[in-house]
Homo-oligomer: A and B are copies of this chain.
Amino acid sequence: MKNKSEDYQKMIKTYLEHNSCPVAATMSVIGGKWKSIILYLISHDVKRFGEMHRMIDGISKKMLTSQLRELEADKIIHRKVFPVVPPKVEYTITERGLSLRPLIIAMREWGLENVLKIRHYT
């Protein structure tokens, strides 16, 4: 236990010194205002743009686009364009995206257990 603790302290120091905290890194991937919801939705099924737009209450097309682009850049989701009229675009989760599922699930469960006890949340 002592070792573990010392280990942590060292890692903290290293991370912060190099300004590369992996916790923060993960947050930068899933921490966008809507990303966790998108991830949660998409991890269960292929989703189309309009479909998500309808499912996520209050999100604008612009926001949805930007969040999807960022997730794509991080290789969490994959964007497949069908060259048809009218346009059709499908978003699927990648393998790396799937590796985030345990995290999303854990967040969901923590939320379920604590949501009612905490202050209002937006």
Q: Given contacts A29-B121, A44-B9, is CB(A55)–CB(B22) below 8 Å? A: no
Interface size (A, Cβ < 8 Å)? Answer: 51
CA A99 to CA B107, docked complex, whole Å: 11
| Chain A residues numbered 29-63 whose CB sits less than 8 Å from any CB in chain B | 29, 31, 36-37, 40-41, 44, 55-58
Which of A5, A12, A56, A111 has the most chain B CB within a 10 Å cutoff? Answer: A111
Known: A27-B36, A104-B23. A5 touches B44 (CB 8 A): yes
Name 9 extra pairs, CB < 8 A, besides A22-B108, A26-B107, A99-B114: A8-B44, A12-B41, A12-B55, A16-B57, A25-B111, A25-B121, A73-B119, A103-B110, A106-B106
